[in-house]
A and B are shown apart, each in its own frame.
Chain A
């Protein structure tokens, strides 16, 4: 299994509070991704990173920010959580090369009340 750890695995919080999810990899892969999974939508890309301090937006980036200060860590922050951000969040990593598959963490279930 790819060495990807997401923390926390579960979190319940209130609307308006800040939330940070962490993704840690031990594979030294260059590319890291954050997705959210919602019923009927599959996985949708929030943000991705192609190197330390190099990040870009995905298709559903509003309300989210990311940071990558080290190769192994990719943080996803919800500055002021809203109920619409209740979801399962997956981190993924990928090797160099366009045809490389992504390997996923186990997911974080986030509930915003």
Chain B
């Protein structure tokens, strides 16, 4: 069965600190897709990144970077030089090819507080 674990419920950092949000997943599929979404205090959900199981290249987008490691079933998200605007709840999600990609499973989320 598929499962996503975000063990960090809340993280609090001071502006300009680097912070890593952990995501560990479980799946029996060899083809699957991983996602990160952001939910700022205003409540909307914003897509950040997707990765498929065949692409283990790390990705960097500005201050954001993602580390995908199949060996540890992890897809961690790092924010470099955090800013107050990064304060949000971040969700990691997984969908499996065997379910047609329909049944996306979300982790419980990590609430990030960035203090000025």
Contacts and interface: CB of A to CB of B under 8 A. Distances in A.
Interface of A: 31, 33, 35, 40-45, 48, 50, 56, 58-59, 88, 90, 92, 97-104, 106-107
B74 interface: no
B54 to A, nearest CB: 10
20 contacts: A42-B6, A42-B107, A42-B108, A43-B45, A45-B103, A50-B100, A50-B102, A59-B105, A88-B43, A98-B101, A99-B33, A99-B52, A101-B50, A102-B104, A103-B47, A104-B45, A106-B43, A106-B44, A107-B43, A107-B44
Nearest to B45: A104
Given A43-B91, A99-B50, A99-B52, A31 B102 contact: yes
Interface size class of B (residues with CB under 8 A): 20 to 34
Contacts of A50: 100, 102
B34 to A, nearest CB: 10
A108 to B, nearest CB: 11
Contacts of B107: 42
Given A102-B47, A104-B44, A45 B104 contact: yes
A61 B95 CA distance: 18
A42 B91 contact: yes
Interface string B38-81: 00000111010010100000000000000000000000000000
Contacts of B44: 104, 106-107
A60 B50 CA distance: 25
A34 to B, nearest CB: 12
Contact of B33 (A41, A43, A45, A98): A98
Contacts of A35: 106
Nearest to B91: A42
A42 B106 contact: yes
Nearest to B35: A101
